[in-house]
């Protein structure tokens, strides 16, 4: 979880702040604008854009475009919006870069684990083996000219839950088009820090310790940066004294082990958000190689409490 630390200052700019429940989480937007009225209009426009994209990309809405694509898996291509094509294209690039460690067709495994954990059980090895062949991003057929998506195998499920960064990017672009250069866009633990605070200083973001709720690993001063955290403490259940969290390793079909928190920082949410899953699954050493190759910054906490970070971030240990 990322904790935003705000401070006020005296200036001619005015800060407008609003929080809504969208995408099954808390969305909080803070805008610095010349007038409160201008700030309110920008915040309302941003919230409307998030609701629009959520209606398009949510797995939990029967009328969403992604639901229609999933229901048509193995049968026919489905016409979708340009934004869906763009989001899937970004996700597919990270899937390819990671060799499928991040895979946007992870849906069948996610659904299986959700069902069994809700029943108070865990999936059997046979059940996992039965759905793993459905998880393969290479079986997505994207036709940009016709604006269609097709899943080659019946039962495949695309899941864009790891693409909140794409939505945050869209909102940041919307702000800039409206002449708003200073804003904080927070989709739960995914934050776009645009420009500066009202007092002209960078936004201050505290990174929570994954096991000690009242402790921060570090406080970062950010301007025009996107930051996100994936942790095993966000969504999990305990079964027979074992923690089962929501980040599934496509290679095993089971929740990943060895890492409990990954925070990534960069300049494009559409890549940073899915990229955060890679160190979580691969571990600090292999994960950091990919992070550094893409020029991102990272904080990784393993299951022994060891903190590893890139050179540009200092942490308390």
Q: State the virtual CA torsion across 212, 217, 220, 226 in degrees, nearest 10.
A: -70
Strand 203-208, strand 14-22: pairing: unpaired
CA distance 230 to 232: 7
pTM, 2 dp: 0.88
Residues 181-220 as b/e (b if ≥16 CB within 10 A, e otherwise) read ebbbbbbbbbbbbbbbbbeeeebbbbbbbbeeeeebbbeb
- Tell me which of 134 and 234 has the higher pLDDT: 134
pLDDT tens per residue across span 254-273: 988 889 889 999 999 999 99
Tokens of 119: 């029943």
Strand partners, 299: 263, 309
Geometric angle at alpha carbon 298, from 295 and 300, rounded to 5°: 145
Catalogue all structural domains in the chain, each as residue range(s) with its CATH number: 58-162+197-317 (3.10.520.10)
Strand partners, 224: none
- Label residue 231 exposed, middle or buried (CB < 10 Å: 0-12, 13-18, 19+): buried
Q: Does position 311 have pLDDT exceeding 70, yes or no?
A: yes
In this predicted structure, what is the pLDDT of residue 95? 92
CA distance 156 to 162: 17
Closest-CA residue to 316 (of 209, 163, 180)? 209
Q: For the range 11-20, what are the long-range contacts, defined as Cβ-Cβ under 8 Å and sequence gap of 24 or more?
A: 11/198, 11/199, 11/200, 13/182, 13/198, 14/39, 14/198, 15/39, 15/197, 15/198, 16/40, 16/42, 16/43, 17/43, 18/43, 18/44, 18/47, 20/47
Geometric angle at alpha carbon 201, from 200 and 204, rounded to 5°: 140
Q: Does position 298 have pLDDT exceeding 80, yes or no?
A: yes
Tokens of 50: 């998030």
pLDDT tens per residue across span 201-227: 999 999 888 877 778 888 999 999 999
CA distance 257 to 167: 28
Q: Does position 19 have pLDDT exceeding 80, yes or no?
A: yes
Average pLDDT along the chain? 89
Other C-beta atoms lying within 10 Å of the C-beta of residue 7: 10
CA distance 284 to 289: 9
């Amino acid at each position: 979880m990322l904790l935003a630390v705000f401070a006020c200052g005296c200036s001619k700019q005015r800060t407008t702040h609003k929080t809504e429940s969208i995408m099954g989480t808390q969305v909080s937007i803070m805008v610095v604008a010349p007038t409160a009225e201008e700030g309110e209009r920008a915040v309302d426009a941003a919230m409307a854009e998030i609701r629009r994209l959520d209606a398009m990309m949510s797995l939990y809405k029967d009328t969403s475009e992604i639901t229609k694509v999933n229901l048509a898996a193995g049968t026919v291509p489905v016409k979708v919006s340009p934004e869906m094509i763009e989001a899937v294209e970004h996700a597919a690039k990270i899937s390819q870069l990671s060799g499928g460690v991040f895979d946007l067709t992870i849906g069948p495994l996610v659904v299986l684990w959700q069902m069994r954990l809700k029943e108070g059980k865990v999936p059997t090895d046979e059940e996992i083996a039965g759905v793993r062949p459905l998880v393969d991003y290479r079986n997505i057929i994207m036709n940009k000219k016709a604006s269609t998506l097709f899943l080659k195998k019946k039962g495949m499920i695309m899941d864009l839950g790891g693409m909140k960064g794409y939505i945050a990017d869209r909102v940041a672009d919307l702000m800039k088009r409206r002449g708003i250069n200073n804003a904080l866009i927070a989709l739960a633990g995914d934050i776009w820090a645009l420009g500066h605070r009202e007092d002209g200083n960078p936004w201050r973001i505290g990174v929570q310790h994954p096991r000690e709720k009242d402790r921060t690993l570090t406080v970062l001063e950010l301007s025009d940066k996107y930051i996100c955290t994936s942790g095993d403490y966000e969504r999990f259940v305990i079964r027979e004294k074992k923690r089962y969290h929501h980040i599934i390793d496509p290679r095993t079909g089971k929740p990943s082990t060895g890492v409990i928190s990954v925070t990534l920082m960069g300049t494009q949410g559409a890549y940073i958000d899915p990229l955060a899953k890679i160190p979580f699954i691969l571990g600090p050493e292999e994960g950091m190689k990919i992070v550094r190759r893409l020029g991102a910054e990272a904080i990784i906490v393993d299951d022994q409490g060891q903190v590893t970070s890139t050179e540009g971030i200092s942490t308390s240990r």
